Structure 1
Amino acid sequence: MGLETIDLAIVIGYAVALIAIATLLSREKAGHQKDSEDYFLAGKALPWWAVGASLIAANISAEQIIGMSGSGYVVGLAIASYEWMAGITLLIVGKFFLPVFLKHGIYTMPQFLEKRFDVRVKTVMSIFWLLLYTFVNLTAILWLGATAINALTGFDITYGLIVLAVFAVAYSLYGGLKAVAMTDIIQVVLLVLGGMLITWIALDKVSGGAGPIEGMSVLLEQAPGKFDMILSKDNPEYMNLPGIGVLIGGMWMMNLSYWGFNQYIIQRALGAKSQDEAQKGIVFAAFLKLLMPLIIVIPGIAAYVLSQDPNSGLYVGRPDQAYPTVMALAPIGIRGLIFAALVAAIVSSLGSMMNSISTIFTLDIYRPWHKGEESEGELVKIGRFASLTAIIIAVLVAQPLLGKSEQAFQFIQEFTGFFTPGICAIFILGVFWKGSTANGALLAAIGSFAFSVVGKFYFAHIPFMDRVLYVFLGCCAVIAIMSFIDRKMPEKAIDLNGIKFGTSSAYNVGALVVVAAVAALYALFW
């Protein structure tokens, strides 16, 4: 293992080029001072291709590449449900929720909750998201990224955390969402090409040099259980991916919360030029999601098969080391390119997460306290300060929180699953049921955590994905009961009459292709 001089030159060259491009894109025209719309929503000028690429670049981070590949090593292709079902979820968000958010001209998800309910709901959810993004998502991206660097180069994990944090700050802190989103085009190209390359190398190694197609045949022959999309109850991973329950249960809640009501993701679509551009970007992202298991999960399965062969010379210490171990198979030069692709995924997600933290803190926590007395320049400065503070905290707590985790991806999913049901209930009923009240939403937010804790410790036999569904239904019931107790139609109910839910023919055709492709994949690997 290790990077040679040419590999290091490629990685350093990429880093310098990315920072230079981000800085260039962040420059404003003479006489124009960067305001909050410029910094947090890229001036609402993103084209569809930037929206779609940025959605995927923000999503495919170390927690996805390293974590999901590790789960592929343990579980197999079934973990790809998060990716393929996400493609359909994106289409649902683009048609039914995005038009509502854009119509109300919001910057943040908490801002929407205040418009629909009240300041209490906004504040509670703002604090929750800030804590989640800082202590779970940002921390996981840093930790898994540093772990990958350590596995490939031997570079100390602590120093790896610091280097990634500094790189992310240099790349995204000044320019905000525009710098992140526009450079994500480069990141996604590098990510997809590098990912395809590592899959090719892994499959070729499995086949003994006979090529990737033969390598895939070997995987199917030697590890057929790794290609079951629907796990049986006797599978040791059933508690994480409970068979048919994945298709009809909590997975929908997990994906809707992530892709539709998650500031970190939806902020890209909110920064689009128009609703049509945002929706085309979402279809583009849905197509890219279909590719992700090929470049993330398959290398994990290949690592499993190779590790069973004593002659392969490949040893995987623990599941989350599967992808970095396979990366080490690449030849000199190519290894640097693939390593740069991994770094691209890490810093893109770090930059996106930092920008979302700064947006929520500045607009939903800081600005209300100052009652409009702050200048636009001051808001941008506060946003940068919030980003910097969050990344420093994440560096400090990364190892204590995740140092002993075997499958970080599953850990992240289960932890966020404590809050996901309440978020989905609040947004779905808040948008489509005029009768839902602020008191009901507030109780659902608190009840989501309470119900999940009870389910985790007193109904441990229930798979966590099923628990997410049951808690969602419980939260919906809480909102309904409390709203009927209030007996008053909320003054802030959403009027759907003036919202354009119609979609273009391009969107409809793209959506049909994505749905058909997902159905075919499930039929093939049932």
Structure 2
Amino acid sequence: MNEFATIDIVVFVSYCLLIVSLGLWVSRDKKGHQKNAEDYFLASKSLPWWAIGASLIAANISAEQFIGMSGSGFAIGLAIASYEWMAALTLLIVGKYFLPIFIEKKLYTIPEFVEKRYSTNLKTILAVFWIGLFVFVNLTSVLYLGAKALDTIVGNGDGSILITSIIGLALFAAAYSLWGGLSAVAWTDVVQVVLLVFGGFITTYIALDQLTPEGGFFRGLSHLAEVVPEKFSMILSKGEIITPNGEDAWLDLPGLGVLIGGLWVANLYYWGFNQYIIQRTLAAKSLKESQKGIAFAAFLKLLIPLIVVVPGIIAYVMNLDANGVLNSASVDPTFINPEDGEIVNDNAAPWLIKSFVPAGLKGLVLAALAAAIVSSLASMLNSTATIFTMDIYRPYFNKNATDKQTVTVGRITAAVALIIAVSIAPLLRNLGQAFQFIQEYTGVVSPGILAVFITGLFWKRATNNAAIWGVICSVPIAMYFKIAPEGWSDAAIFLDLPFMDQMLYTSLLSIAIILVISHIEGKGRDDEKAIPLSGKLFETPPAFNISAVIIMILLVFLYAFFW
């Protein structure tokens, strides 16, 4: 077991100082220019395409992926990579069909679009919802998973440094993001995405090299495919893969339903209407620059499974017994939950890093993990501050707020959100596959939100009342699919469906509610706030079009090869 050496500490601390210094430097007040709202929340609308693409990936790839998705790779295999590969196609759709409307409307926040298309009431409802989601789900889960990884890698995995790690990660993110705003977040992301990709590849390479006596990256990949070919199936059948804890993986990734079903709900919601993701695209120099950044991010998404999914499969193979079976006796003690004896899938990546990455490189890999965690925390904090300040504070508390007051409130909001998240994070324990857990319970609310936006963007007859009823009804619809009363689970009135199918049906039913109420209320007329659409609005530059074609060809190849 490789210990955490002095050189690792030096490398890690040097990285921390570099990021904080860079964040404070790029966001400094220029001579004679005091930071205003556009500077703080939208980086002065000055981001180039490569910074946008890097920042999108850095905001997205966090402990949820490095730890949670590696855990799902351990339990399920490459099939979980659909979240990454289908995200590449989703990004292209967002760049071509959503961004032109958002940028033409000169938005600061996604709830602001709701106000322009529907009403202030619905905007406020959704703004409060998003703030709650960021603080109580996103920030807390990233802090907990990141701290859990540090506890495993640096500590003994017994929770002894869990609280210290949570506080340390929070202070790290706060050190530059609270003061610098989106400029600090986006420009440090450029450095952090390079580090997290490089650090992730180091872990994958070293782990693959350990798989065979001869060593070697490609020999390791070949060995994986020979030993566990089922782990490289992208489209799962019922019963094809049973997770270490005895569950059918098909319930998480239901075959073709992944490609043509509920995964589209999760991805379109996340990449198209998620404030902390879309905010950096709104900060572009121009629409074309933003679209090029989206295409760059889509290319990077094709590479991500190699650094966040494959390590989980490697850890699975390394813990098989002599008969090729994984059980509580064969796995390293790190994987066993002392409370119930269950196998903890999400310890896959931390175990690989602690066990096989040598001194010196371990500090670099740990810095890459911290980069993934801190960049996402910083993005979430900035977006929470943006929504509260622009959608709640300004309209309801101080309509005439100065730029200085606005920025100050933004900083205070981010600080309060972080304190709440730090307080709650230690309570998140025994999540099993954390990535799947987060996806499933976010899926209770995302279908209704997606229905509101899709109809608002592309159906001129959608009315405000219909949208409100659609989003309100979506939650009980989702809960109907998810939770049956005790003893009623076999009753014909309840359906036993994979959660992806639940999301799809919830979204379709929510859209149907909006269509019906809009038709009754509007009597077939266009809504007065309908968005005028034209073919010219959706024209994209050659660089985006060429990139889109190449990405789609690569996606077809990947799915054909791993089908």
TM-score range, shorter chain: over 0.9
Return the letter of the residue paired with 1:504.
Answer: P
Q: TM-score, normalised by structure 2?
A: 0.91
C-alpha distance in structure 1 between counterparts of 2:433 and 2:319, whole Å: 17
Maintained 8 Å contact 2:481/2:496: no
The 5-angstrom pairing of residues 27-106 of structure 1 reads 27-106=28-107
Other-structure match for 2:450: 424
State the SS of the aligned residue for 2:555.
helix
Maintained 8 Å contact 2:235/2:255: yes
The 5-angstrom pairing of residues 234-245 of structure 1 reads 234-235=239-240, 236-245=248-257
1:370 positional shift: 2.9
Other-structure match for 2:119: 118
1:500 positional shift: 2.2
Q: Cα 1:364–1:209, aligned 2, differ >3 Å: closer, same or farther?
A: farther
State the SS of the aligned residue for 2:180.
coil
1:399 positional shift: 2.2
Other-structure match for 2:533: 496
1:2 positional shift: 3.6
C-alpha distance in structure 1 between counterparts of 2:99 and 2:537, whole Å: 10
Deviations 1:375-423 (CA, angstroms, capped at 9, x unpaired): 11111011111111111111111122x2121111111001110111111
1:316 positional shift: 2.9
Moved over 4 A (4+): 309-315
Maintained 8 Å contact 1:444/1:476: yes
Deviations 1:181-227 (CA, angstroms, capped at 9, x unpaired): 01111001101111111000111111235211011111111111111
State the SS of the aligned residue for 2:12.
helix
Maintained 8 Å contact 2:204/2:311: yes
Deviations 1:52-87 (CA, angstroms, capped at 9, x unpaired): 000000000011110000000000000000000000
1:28 positional shift: 2.0
Deviations 1:9-42 (CA, angstroms, capped at 9, x unpaired): 0000100111011110011211111111100000
1:378 aligns with 2:405: yes
State the SS of the aligned residue for 2:538.
coil
Return the letter of the residue paired with 1:83.
Answer: E
C-alpha distance in structure 2 between counterparts of 1:239 and 1:376, whole Å: 50
Q: From 279, 291, 295, give the equivalent of 2:291.
A: 279
The alignment covers a number of residue pairs equal to: 525
C-alpha distance in structure 1 between counterparts of 2:331 and 2:528, whole Å: 67
Q: Cα 1:40–1:498, aligned 2, differ >3 Å: closer, same or farther?
A: farther
1:323 positional shift: 0.3
C-alpha distance in structure 1 between counterparts of 2:392 and 2:250, whole Å: 41
1:233 positional shift: 1.2
Q: From 428, 436, 440, give the equivalent of 2:466.
A: 440
Q: Cα 1:209–1:128, aligned 2, differ >3 Å: closer, same or farther?
A: farther
- Percent same amino acid at aligned positions? 53
Other-structure match for 1:333: 360
1:425 positional shift: 1.0
Other-structure match for 1:181: 186
Q: From 455, 474, 497, give the equivalent of 1:462.
A: 497
Deviations 1:300-358 (CA, angstroms, capped at 9, x unpaired): 00000001147997853311110000111101001111000000111000000000000
Unpaired segments ≥5 residues, structure 2: 241-247, 323-329, 337-343, 485-493
Q: From 343, 346, 356, give the equivalent of 2:373.
A: 346
Q: Does 204-213 or 153-162 show the bigger shift?
A: 204-213
State the SS of the aligned residue for 1:16.
helix
The 5-angstrom pairing of residues 90-239 of structure 1 reads 90-154=91-155, 156-235=161-240, 236-239=248-251
Other-structure match for 1:253: 265
C-alpha distance in structure 1 between counterparts of 2:142 and 2:45, whole Å: 27
C-alpha distance in structure 1 between counterparts of 2:461 and 2:395, whole Å: 27
C-alpha distance in structure 1 between counterparts of 2:352 and 2:430, whole Å: 22
State the SS of the aligned residue for 1:412.
helix
Q: Cα 1:470–1:312, aligned 2, differ >3 Å: closer, same or farther?
A: closer
Q: Cα 1:27–1:308, aligned 2, differ >3 Å: closer, same or farther?
A: same
State the SS of the aligned residue for 2:32.
coil
State the SS of the aligned residue for 2:415.
helix
C-alpha distance in structure 2 between counterparts of 1:234 and 1:462, whole Å: 15
Other-structure match for 1:289: 301
